[in-house]
Structure 1
Amino acid sequence: MGKRIMNMAALFLFCLPVMVEAQCSYKNTAFKSGEFLSYNLYYNWKFVWVKAGTASMSTVASRYKGQPAYRASLTTRGNGKVDNMFVLRDTLLCYSGQDLVPLYYRKGAREGKRYTVDEIWYTYKGGQCNLRQQRLHSDGRKDVRNHKSPECVYDMMNIFLRARSFSIDGWKPGHTVSFPIADGNGTAPAMLKYRGKKTVKADNGIKYRCIELSYIEKEKGKWKEIVRFYVTDDANHVPVRLDMFLRFGSAKAFLTNMKGLRN
């Protein structure tokens, strides 16, 4: 009997890493390899919206440390006409398992005079989600930290990939999904808030019936909306419009083209 209990305990400890990684997994129903989305960017300058540049997002099949994975990238490019108002140069990259488990995240951001490079490496050992986080500053300073959590932790790109496969059946306006969010500097509570449905006109001239969601983070004890996005009310959940609340004002992105959709 004692030997049986010891064997069961050993099996439980062996399965812990799998259990933690499994709770981070999610069935992808929204996108496939080869999806490409493009956007126009607008920036609010003294109560006037001006064309500020473009953005593009792509998702392709790849490999991460020898394992099949998705590689998703988001690039924003401001134009020279508005650089004297606000410089926006962001490049976000993530690797996610085919089961949408977070594996890696990188964000290179030039926003105004501020430039940083954030990186996160994820591993699942010892029954926990383990993060190695790093922030590189423009002056060469490097902040490195390690974080462990018994629950799954996400970054902005990996949670976005997972959220596209959410089903809103049974959700009412005000429904929230909570999770820890990480960047190169730490972790914080975050949530997605469902706001209902709305018709949105994209920059390709087409009107789409959309699901309206807010991405909200807790900063210094207060909840702050970071992005409000509108995704198509279908199985693809393609982002049609994003309202971004920046440190130096606000910006919007409107869909111009999409190809390689799954559904």
Structure 2
Amino acid sequence: MLLICSSKNTTAQCIPENFAFQAGEKLVFRGYYNWGFIWVAAGEVELSVEAEQFQNRDVFKIKGEGKNTKAFDWVFKLRDTLTCYADRQTLSPLYFDRRTHEANYNAHHEYWFDESNKQIFSKIQKREKPVKLDTLTNKPCTFDILSIAYYVRNLNFSKYKKGDKIPISILIDNEIHSLYIRYQGLETIKTKSGENFECLKFSPLLVEGTMFKGGEDMTVWLSNDNNRIPIMVEAKILVGSVKGVLDSYEGLRNTQNSLFKQGNGKLDIAE
């Protein structure tokens, strides 16, 4: 009986601890689109973390907001909002909300994670179609597309060598995918002012869909310090390429032994 009760109340400890971020962190990225040989400023993404209560638990409210520049509205208007409530100790998601507004396409995805019964309840509405309800069987250490980024920031990359695959489990469009990120070693990113940021470089395996072809067509550079800030993300899409570059940051958790001079500031990454 003790074993049964213990297993029901235990949350999967997928990371030893969260050392990379804290409530109050905000990161802003500039988005670029490449079609041919020219990178064009196309939008902005803001990621923020707040401390809140959800279902009587201490959680991080992680929010991601993406929008294109007004100059692109006539071509493809994009306003996406992602919200995740993740347990403050384990980073396991409890609830995930995705509101998609892309051109004439609108969708609303909601997911509730029931850890005790290892289930995920979903509620999805696309365009004007009827609402779809579903129940999925959850797997240990499964993250949504937002919380996975904060989980990866807390990985111990020192135990991996170049070329190693690090398995991840991620919920995408009402389906759990067993994927991986491939560690590519260290690489230095330079700013226009001459600053150097040593980065951990890796490529995640992507799911084929309306935007990506699938495969390892995305590269991510994380700062090689305890903040593990995404410095740059670059990916091939079905038509052209996209790039996200860190523009500003504030509320960083780690100020000592950090690549960032202060707890907030701006960057100007060399293209």
SS of equivalent to 1:160? helix
Q: Does 1:213 align with 2:220?
A: no
1:34-53 → structure 2 map (5 Å cutoff): 34-53=24-43
Q: Deviations over 1:140-177 (max 9, x none)?
A: 33222111235231111111111111111131111122
Q: Deviations over 1:199-255 (max 9, x none)?
A: 1235787431111122213549x9523642111000000011111344554211111
Kept in 2: contact 1:103–1:121 (CA 8 A): yes
SS of equivalent to 1:225? coil
Aligned partner of 1:237 among 216, 228, 232: 228
Q: Which residue is equivalent to 1:5? A: none
One-letter amino acid of the structure 2 residue matched with residue 17 of structure 1 = K
More strand by share: 1
Kept in 2: contact 1:202–1:241 (CA 8 A): no
One-letter amino acid of the structure 2 residue matched with residue 117 of structure 1 = H
Task: Kindly state the Cα deviation for residue 38 of structure 1 after the two structures are TM-superposed.
Answer: 0.9
Q: Which residue is equivalent to 1:60? A: 50
Distance in 1 between the 2:110 and 2:240 partners?
25
Distance in 1 between the 2:85 and 2:4 partners?
27
Kept in 1: contact 2:92–2:142 (CA 8 A): no
1:105-254 → structure 2 map (5 Å cutoff): 105-126=96-117, 129-201=118-190, 206-219=195-208, 224-225=215-216, 227-254=218-245
Distance in 2 between the 1:104 and 1:91 partners?
14
Aligned partner of 1:96 among 54, 77, 86: 86
Identity, in percent, stands at: 26
Distance in 2 between the 1:28 and 1:43 partners?
33
TM-score, structure 1 normalization? 0.85
Q: Deviations over 1:57-80 (max 9, x none)?
A: 111111112211101111111012
Distance in 2 between the 1:213 and 1:119 partners?
29
Distance in 1 between the 2:242 and 2:75 partners?
12
Kept in 2: contact 1:24–1:152 (CA 8 A): yes
Q: Which residue is equivalent to 2:260? A: none
Task: Kindly state the Cα deviation for residue 37 of structure 1 after the two structures are TM-superposed.
Answer: 0.9
> Based on CA coordinates, which of the two structures has the bigger radius of gyration?
1
SS of equivalent to 1:169? helix
TM-score, structure 2 normalization? 0.83
Change (3 A) 1:11 1:72: same
146-155 vs 228-237, greater mean Cα deviation = 146-155
Q: Which residue is equivalent to 2:20? A: 30
Distance in 2 between the 1:12 and 1:239 partners?
40
Kept in 1: contact 2:15–2:155 (CA 8 A): no
Unaligned runs of 5+ in 1: 1-9
104-113 vs 253-262, greater mean Cα deviation = 104-113
Distance in 2 between the 1:190 and 1:24 partners?
16
**C-alpha RMSD of the superposition:** 2.3
Q: Which residue is equivalent to 1:73? A: 63
Distance in 2 between the 1:189 and 1:199 partners?
30
Change (3 A) 1:200 1:63: same
Q: Which residue is equivalent to 2:263? A: none
Task: Kindly state the Cα deviation for residue 183 of structure 1 after the two structures are TM-superposed.
Answer: 2.8
